Structure 1
């Protein structure tokens, strides 16, 4: 049972598959007995993953800066809505509340959020798994980019291997259960929890 942080779009995206995948991810988290931790919105894929988790009786914790709550995009039916002062505080709180991080299709914010967590894992700031729900090949280009960075000597293969790309939420959560963190980038030994 893991508390899973999901990063995803505040829009529906251009394919029905994206919203369907958001709902499937929410259902999988609820079925696993873990909590969903996410950005707290009621719109787009964010709203879909939260609603789907709640629909099956799962707990959902949203984390949102005051300014966005005041802009009335906060989901009002969550188990808990944590208000923070800034986007930086939001990411820090989401990371503290989570046992693993999943990116669903989304835009620049989604990319920034998941890659920050990948970097933190690489540096040994946390020992939590990071993965991508690769809906309709959405993250194929990210795989190509990361593999290119490995080939060009900018990313160690062991840090590429720590990333999970899966086509179903169940496969992603199963990989998270089996996750073994790599050694910290600046240490010969694995980091301690």
Structure 2
């Protein structure tokens, strides 16, 4: 599941409430992992990504939630279609990169998934690369969210500025509308 939040509140007021909401979810049965982040290119925009062992556990956690998230959220139910985690989890990262993709109805989603794997391939030689996750919307099989995580923001910037990344990203754009958002993981403290 992914939640997208938009707020006009100052980060010092909004972020603690969002993190408290995230911490409450961790104690629910079936919870696997999560990461909450601020999109660095869009002030007031946040994402929260959770992984659960099953839909029934996620739905039960939603019904048991004692308090609503701190701001209206757009939520989307997704399934994992690809994961590579050679170096930790998104929660351990210093930088996240989110890709939202809408595959053209005339394009082959399998081709998009392979092309996303090729994009990830441009990252794996970098020691600071943490991993990737490709999620597909349950409601729209042509809608994807990709997540890449990095332990060093400079390594991320270096890879994304390079010709191999740009070439692979252009390849994705051949089958889908793609938006790329760097993000800063939020941590308590």
Length-normalised TM-score, structure 2: 0.26
Length-normalised TM-score, structure 1: 0.26
**Higher RCO (Cα < 8 Å, 6 or more apart):** 2
Q: Which one has a larger percent helix, Structure 1 or Structure 2?
A: 1
Q: Which one has a larger percent strand, Structure 1 or Structure 2?
A: 2
